[in-house]
Structures are given as C-alpha cells and as structure tokens.
Amino acid sequence: MLLRRLGRRRITVSAALIVKNEANHLPDCLASLDGIVDEIIVVDTGSSDTSRELAVAAGAVLDEIVWPEDFAAARNHALERCTGDWILYIDADERLRPIDPDRLRSALSGRSDIGATLNLHARTGHDAYRELRLFRNHPQIRFRGVIHETIWPGIEALMLSEGSTIAETEAVLDHVGYDGPQEHKHPRNLPLLRKALAQDPDHVYCWWHLGATLVEMGEIEAGRDAWYESVAALGRVGVRRPADSLAFIALLNPPRGAADANEALFEQALTAFPADPMLRWLRGRFLLEADRQAEAIDVLSALLTEIRADGLSRDFGYDETTFGSGLHGLLGRAYHDLGQHTFAATHFAEAEIADPTNLEFRARRVLSEHLST
C-alpha cells in the first residue's frame, strides 16, 4: 500500500498557498494558521506589493515562480515543497477558524483516509458546505486544470485502487474574497476560462463561470450564450456535482435571465437536479409571479418541510436569507393573495424573526393579522 503508515507518530500538517499581490489579505490568513499547522508554504507568482515580505515575516517558507498561466501548475509547485504528512490548501483571502490542533490531527489519523473535508463559508452571509481541502502528501495527488483546478482525479484513483476513504474534520474556513468587487479578476480569468474550455468543451462549471464573467463585464448576450453552452454540456456529460446547476440558476433568476424563466427550462433543470433547493425556490417564485399561488404554496411548503427535517444540502453554500426570511416571505405573499391571511401572518412573522431589520415583513405581518380578524 502506498499510503504511509504513521503509527503513533505525531501527524504533521503543511499549509500550501499561491499568492500574487495579496498584501491586504495575507496577514490575516497566515495568522489564522499559526499554531495549527506545522509549516506554511507560500508560492509567490509575481507580486509587486509586500506579499513576499509579509510571508517571510510570518515564518512561512517562501518560493517565487513566474506565473505559469495555469492554477494547477502553480499549486502543484507548492505541493512539491510541502514536507508534512497532510496538506491543507488555502487561499490568501481565506481564514481558518480557531481549532484545537490535536482534535484536527485526531480526525486525520485514520489509516485508510486519503483526504478530509472541512466546512467552507464561500462568502460572508452564506451557509457552510463540505469541501475537501485536506489530503495526504502523496505523489499521486496533484491538481489538474488551468482554472477551477481539482485534486479529485488523484483522490478518486487512490480510493479505487487502495480502498482509501475520506474523513471529516471540524475545521472551518471563511472565504472573504467575494465580499467586494470582483472586476479585477476578470482580465486574469477570462483567457484562462477560454483556454480551459478549448481543452475540455464539456466543462459545465467553466461555461457557467465564463457566462458570469461576461455578464459582469456587460456582455449580457454573450454571457447568456455561455450559460446555454453549460446546459448543453450538461446534457452530453450528465451531472458531475451540485454546482453544475449554476447555469440553470443564472438563466432562471431575474433580472438578468428574466426572459428565460419558462416552463420548459424549469422542467429541464428540475429533471437534472430534482432536489436542488435553489431551483425549487425559484420555481416557487416563478409560480407566484405567474398568479399560480396554490401551485407555489405546494412547491415552497414541500421545500420548507424538507429543510426543517433534514436541513440544507451540505454540498453547496447558499445565502442564509434565501431559505429563511426569503422562503417565508414568498409563502406569506402566496397565502395573502389567496385571502388566507392567518397563514400569511404566520409566515410573515417567521420572516420578520429571521430578518428583523426588514420593515416590509413587519408591515405585511401587521396587515395580515388585521385582515385575519
């Protein structure tokens, strides 16, 4: 078996980062790793700010390379420098929440475990989902892909050949890089996305990202075309992961895709992703706005019941308001339109509890209570 048998020896953990002009983010990231990992590898790809100096000052091992126009190549360069038994890959705009280092290492002690998940908050105000960010320092585990790089091919190969397993940890990462404007990333991402799609025309997620980038750059029609290419690619390769639903969500979510919200597209989306909570939420809103309130209530009530029973899927992060105040708000509106004001008042009250700063929910709750008497 290729995996190292660690016995009772203390497990060591390396953190691996690639950075370029991350002086604003890097100190908080490195500080969050202090005392938890055994070494920090920082590969700088051409910073013109103080990123390199900040890395050295924090005790990181610094390496410098010319940006290879390939995220996988840059990350793999960092992996080659790691000496720990396990590797945590992290970006400069992410922070590891405090965790007992011994508890983390205990979670990584399974002899058959090749990787481990943690909880990732992809942006502020979003629910966490499980993400594989920890893996053995193993020569077969390397990133692939010029953008949206992944380590899963190597992980899956070892799971198949050696019966390796995936562990879960209590670690939590907060990603803060999406909290502000993203325009500065478009000139870098656009050519990489096109390069990736030239290599793999059926990369569903890259087509979605290309569309989102183009729309944010003001190229609305080109962006919509890319989203439809994502949908077409999905039809050829089938569902690979929950995030493959993003092109459907973009097309069905006004105002950018208002003209595309139609029965045929919803049927196609929900056939591919029947349990996707966001698609079901959008379906409920579509029915409500089409004056099909009873149907909207059926869809949204079923979704609410499932969320209360099982919680949201741990495969994807959602805005915390969508399935809280947003879901109750839609149900309140539907019941109000049908003249069922007692039910409307109940849902508006739930929405108000979830979002007490929203005066609209309060006003609707008061009105519905008045009309129900």
Q: Break the chain into its structural domains and give their ranges.
A: 13-175, 183-372
| Neighbouring-strand partners of residue 95 | 174
From first to last of its 373 residues, what are the pLDDT tens digits of the chain?
A: 334 444 457 999 999 999 999 999 999 999 999 999 999 999 999 999 999 999 999 999 999 999 999 999 999 999 999 999 999 999 999 999 999 999 999 999 999 999 999 999 998 888 899 999 999 999 999 999 999 999 999 999 999 999 999 999 999 999 998 777 778 889 999 999 999 999 999 999 999 999 999 999 999 999 999 999 999 999 999 887 888 999 999 999 866 554 577 899 999 999 999 999 999 999 999 999 999 999 999 999 999 999 999 888 777 788 889 999 999 999 999 999 999 999 999 999 999 999 999 999 999 999 999 999 8
Span 72-113, pLDDT tens digits: 999 999 999 999 999 999 999 999 999 999 999 999 999 999
Radius of gyration of the chain (CA): 23
Burial of 371 (0-12, 13-18, 19+ CB in 10 A): middle
CATH superfamily of 183-372: Tetratricopeptide repeat domain (1.25.40.10)
| Nearest alpha-carbon partner for 164 in 116, 114, 117 | 114
pTM above 0.85, yes or no: yes
User: Could you give the CA distance from residue 132 to residue 6 in angstroms, rounded to a whole number?
Assistant: 21
Q: Which fold has domain 13-175?
A: Spore Coat Polysaccharide Biosynthesis Protein SpsA; Chain A (3.90.550)
User: Could you give the CA distance from residue 346 to residue 336 in angstroms, rounded to a whole number?
Assistant: 11
Cβ atoms of 117 and 155 within 8 Å: the answer is: no
Burial 252-272 (b: 16+ CB within 10 A, else e): bbeebbeebbeeebbeebbeb
Residue recorded with tokens 């481990």:
116
Cβ atoms of 44 and 52 within 8 Å: the answer is: yes
User: Could you give the CA distance from residue 66 to residue 368 in angstroms, rounded to a whole number?
Assistant: 63
What confidence score (pLDDT) does residue 7 get? 47
- DSSP helix/strand/coil, 175: strand
CA atoms within 13 A on the CB side of 51: 26
User: Could you give the CA distance from residue 206 to residue 177 in angstroms, rounded to a whole number?
Assistant: 19
Cβ atoms of 23 and 51 within 8 Å: the answer is: yes
| Nearest alpha-carbon partner for 42 in 153, 145, 27, 150 | 27
| In the chain, % of residues over pLDDT 70 | 96
Phi/psi of residue 59, each to 5°?
90, 10
